[in-house]
Amino acid sequence: TKMASLRWINMLLEKRRGDMTEFVPKLLKVLLKTLSDTSDSVVLFTLQVLARISLGDGGGPIDDTDNLDDNHQAEAHYGLLRGTKDEKHFKLVINAVLGLFSKDRALLENRGSLVVRKFCVLLDAESVYMLMAEVLSASCQ
């Protein structure tokens, strides 16, 4: 199933990032198509995998903010996926998603805000907005 495949890819990116790097461009094409899936759970998990691609070290496990004490809640604000961004792959993912939105207006209208919000939760919101602003600004020129 799609969910099982996404879980497998997510686990490989988390545990064996170095071995998966060469497959990222091919995975990205498939993952972008999956954003149009009718299942919300498939789309949400796809966004998690795309966010994990953006992290150079695979990002480690996702934190569950509901179970964090007050001292750790503030840390979760910066993103649930812990790790250092791989700028190359972060830009690749954001460019690909924005490119998809420019081609598929219906997807932008139906899932655009979900995609942006989920990336902001999983990654650092400021980085997401700054890169999106850079890409959109460059595309307008």
Q: What is the pLDDT of residue 21?
A: 86
Q: Mind listing the pLDDT tens digit for each residue in 31-43?
A: 999 999 999 999 9
Amino acid at 7: R
Q: What is the CA radius of gyration of the chain?
A: 15
Asked if residue 96 lies in contact with residue 28, where contact means CB atoms within 8 angstroms, the answer is: yes
Q: 93: buried, middle or exposed (CB in 10 Å: 19+, 13-18, 0-12)? A: buried
Q: What is the pLDDT of residue 57?
A: 62
Q: What is the pLDDT of residue 76?
A: 39
- Count of CB atoms within 10 A of residue 86's CB? 20
Q: Mind listing the pLDDT tens digit for each residue in 21-72?
A: 889 999 999 999 999 999 999 999 999 999 999 886 655 555 544 433 444 4
Q: Mind listing the pLDDT tens digit for each residue in 95-128?
A: 999 999 999 999 999 999 999 999 999 988 999 9
SS3 39: coil
Look up the pTM and report it. 0.81
Kindly state the percentage of the chain with pLDDT values over 90: 59
Q: Mind listing the pLDDT tens digit for each residue in 82-92?
A: 666 778 899 99
